[in-house]
Homo-oligomer: A and B are copies of this chain.
């Protein structure tokens, strides 16, 4: 079976986030107020072919921990994107 996942990677609490600060610094120029706590991370979407969802999720967890994030300074979560085949045709 094919499952499409998303891995969301974000700076851990307390870790400096210069991109988030840059976004906050630009809000005034756009005349936008009321926005705060901006954190900028990465989102990786990928398709896994495996025998079952548990095996596919194990692959994604390993990828997320070893390749897609730096566990010293970043945290991640994994989403299953439902309807993998249709999502692929519109997003891939």
Interface residues of A (CB under 8 A from B): 4, 6, 8-10, 13, 20, 23, 26-27, 30, 32, 34-50, 56, 59, 62-63, 66-68, 88, 90-92
Complex A-B: 18 CB contacts under 8 Å? A6-B8, A10-B45, A13-B90, A20-B44, A23-B46, A30-B62, A32-B63, A34-B49, A36-B46, A37-B45, A37-B46, A37-B88, A38-B44, A38-B46, A39-B91, A39-B92, A41-B44, A42-B42
Query: In the complex the two chains form, is B34's CB within 8 Å of A38's CB?
Result: no
For the complex, what is the distance from the CA of A30 to the CA of B48, rounded to whole Å?
A: 15
For the complex, what is the distance from the CA of A6 to the CA of B42, rounded to whole Å?
A: 11
Query: In the complex the two chains form, is B40's CB within 8 Å of A42's CB?
Result: yes
